[in-house]
Amino acid sequence: MTRQWWKESVVYQIYPRSFNDSNNDGIGDINGIIQKLDYLKELGVDVIWLSPVYESPNDDNGYDISDYTRIMSDFGTMEDWDRMLQEIHKRNMKLIMDLVINHTSDEHNWFVESRKSTDNAFRDYYIWRDKPNNWESAFSGSAWKYDKTTNQYYLHLFSQKQPDLNWENPDVRNDLFTMMKWWLDKGVDGFRMDVINFISKDQRLPDGEANNGKLYASGHSYYMNGPRVHEFLQEMNQKTLANYDIMTVGEMPGVTPEQAKLYTAESRNELDMVFHFEHMDIDSGPDGKWDIKPWSLVELKQILSKWQTELEYEGWNSLYWNNHDQPRVVSRFGDDGAYRVESAKMLATTLHMMKGTPYIYQGEELGMTNVRFNKIASYRDIETLNMYEEKINEGAEEKALLETIHAKSRDNARTPMQWDSSANAGFTETAPWLQVNPNYVDINAASAVADPNSIYHYYRKLIALRKKYPIVVYGSYELLMPESESIFAYTRELRNKHLLVVSNFTNEFVHFEIPKDYLKATKIIGNYHERNEKLEQKLELKPYESCVYYDADF
Ligand code: NOJ
């Protein structure tokens, strides 16, 4: 396994709309990010992943790009962006840009041209057909939209304003690669690639298997990890990525470890790592994310451990608990009430001690929680609003829908960053684009930075451990007690050095038997600071307690 800077890094994701508003228009912006770079440096992160800041009509908050080479005016100017990059580099941090190239906005010039006539030079930049198939859009309803100008339908796997690009067309690929080179030459340190395993569609575009007489069906098997995806990524790598010292991470719903190895094996020259979704789907039933079911620790461990071991010799894992599309981790897998602080630290320990590159989503380091707005009018997310409308039309109860939204809406992650206890959490001085979570009075960066026992300082220590102990980055992984419903324990090993990580996922006291070999190990971090450092064979773990033991010589 080769050493790489991006294996040794910790990435911090910024969702710019909700991060910090410098000009008090209620929307976060690039100058707001610059103001907080010292905060991020203090935390110890190495890389910033910036969600899209390109020009966009904001149907999907910037994931619908109308010009890849301009900055959205809500966020500032290209000069602001250039200055941000300089300031990031000055602090020895790196910047990776979100790259949304499965689709564009319908307001992108390519699409404006494409829809004009069937013989337009850009017609073939998108996917047009006389008849739609039965695929469902990720944001509800059909994935096809009728366009009366030319009497054809275009494919949009996401919103109607996000037409899918036709990667079969070499001009599309070349234009995208030219654009990527333009950003790389400006000095960006890599890309996070949006739904990049959707770019190759089965050209027959077959109907998906209809489910319970529903109107639309999933077309996943015809566009996730499609027939030419590896060929396209190898071409991209060769024409752009290979010439720069950068990192790449592909967002890949539906990816399996076997496929992930193909995407990330060093010898194949595609991407450095992928985001899989298996642990994010653990509380979704057969009807998808809104069909909520209880999750189990046994399954969570099984999924994460499978990824750890499958990618042991080939490829590389990205480690994450949440992002701008997912609920807040402490509300989902921890306890956002009485044990918020303990469980947030426990979850952080469990993730950051695994093998892979950890990602922190803004506010996770503060233990920010899900939000519970009591009316749909407070929500802004297109996925949430479309689902609500569809279900209300089908006769669903508002109360039940709001419950689901409280658990799963993407707006849980998008409420503004909680900087301090002043009005609007110090995010802005005016009404924010999405209301702040009322708990900002207690949960905010200013108080976390001032409190040495805060979640924030705990993250700092975890990041520092990664820098101090190569075993955290490169050690092999082994799960202990796979059947335990309360404890997540695993070991790491690197050249006779060992780590033992033990986490209690419950709000009760539980017992853990320390493996004999570890009895002389030293505790290097834990979330209950009063615990005696000396190890006894029978360890009693407090609610949500998590500890890491290190032994250099057995
Ligand atoms: C995945 C992004 O993370 C999400 O926010 C977006 O809505 C879709 N891709 C479509 O771009």
pLDDT for the residue numbered 533: 62
Residue 488 CA to ligand 1 centre (angstroms):
31
Provide the angle, in degrees to the nearest 10, between the axes of the packed helices 229-239 and 257-264. Answer: 30
Q: Is 195 in the pocket of ligand 1 (CB under 6 A)?
A: yes
Show the tokens assigned to 44.
């110890």
pLDDT for the residue numbered 214: 86
Q: Is 63 in the pocket of ligand 1 (CB under 6 A)?
A: yes
Q: Which residues are catalytic?
A: 194, 251
- In the chain, CATH 2.60.40.1180 sits at 474-551
Residue 507 vs residues 239, 343, 487, 537, 545: alpha-carbon distances, Å: 52, 9, 11, 22, 9
How many Cβ atoms from other residues are within 10 Å of residue 9's Cβ? 22
Residue 206 vs residues 48, 130, 134, 135, 166: alpha-carbon distances, Å: 39, 14, 8, 9, 16
Fold exhibited by the domain 474-551? Immunoglobulin-like (2.60.40)
Residue 382 CA, closest ligand 1 atom number: 7
pLDDT for the residue numbered 62: 98
Residue 138 CA to ligand 1 centre (angstroms):
9
Q: Is 194 in the pocket of ligand 1 (CB under 6 A)?
A: yes
pLDDT for the residue numbered 530: 61
Alpha-carbon gap, residue 44 to 25, rounded angstroms: 30
Residue 103 CA, closest ligand 1 atom number: 11
Residue 63 CA to ligand 1 centre (angstroms):
6
For residue 479, list its beta bridge partners: 490
Q: What is the 3-state secondary structure (H, E, C) of 88-112?
A: HHHCCCEEEEEECCCECCCCCHHHH
Alpha-carbon gap, residue 369 to 412, rounded angstroms: 7
- In the chain, CATH 3.20.20.80 sits at 11-104+171-210+217-461
Cα Rg for the chain, rounded, in angstroms?
23
Q: Is 280 in the pocket of ligand 1 (CB under 6 A)?
A: no
Q: What CATH number has the domain spanning 11-104+171-210+217-461?
A: 3.20.20.80
User: Atom 2, ligand 1: which residue's CA is nearest?
Assistant: 194
Per-residue pLDDT of the chain (554 residues; tens, 9 = 90+): 799 999 999 999 999 999 999 999 999 999 999 999 999 999 999 999 999 999 999 999 999 999 999 999 999 999 999 999 999 999 999 999 999 999 999 999 999 999 999 999 999 999 999 999 999 999 999 999 999 999 999 999 999 999 999 999 999 999 999 999 999 999 999 999 999 999 999 999 999 998 777 899 999 999 999 999 999 999 999 999 999 999 999 999 999 999 999 999 999 999 999 999 999 999 999 989 999 999 999 999 999 999 999 999 999 999 999 999 999 999 999 999 999 999 999 999 999 999 999 999 999 999 999 999 999 999 999 999 999 999 999 999 999 999 999 999 999 999 999 999 999 999 999 999 999 999 999 999 999 999 999 999 999 999 999 999 999 999 999 999 999 999 999 999 999 999 999 999 999 999 999 998 898 899 999 999 765 566 778 899 999 999 999 987 76
**Residue partners of 367: CB distance under 8 A and separation at least 6:** 330, 336, 340, 341, 344, 443, 455
Is residue 181 packed enough to be buried (19+ CB in 10 Å), middle (13-18) or exposed (0-12)?
middle
Residue 410 CA, closest ligand 1 atom number: 5
Alpha-carbon gap, residue 550 to 110, rounded angstroms: 56
Four-residue CA torsion sign, 249, 254, 257, 261 = negative
CATH class of the region 109-155: alpha beta
Residue 75 CA to ligand 1 centre (angstroms):
19
- In the chain, CATH 3.90.400.10 sits at 109-155
Alpha-carbon gap, residue 91 to 89, rounded angstroms: 5
The number of residues making up the chain comes to 554
Residue 297 vs residues 23, 159, 304, 478, 528: alpha-carbon distances, Å: 44, 34, 11, 16, 22
Residue 100 CA, closest ligand 1 atom number: 11
Q: Is 158 in the pocket of ligand 1 (CB under 6 A)?
A: yes
Residue 68 CA to ligand 1 centre (angstroms):
16
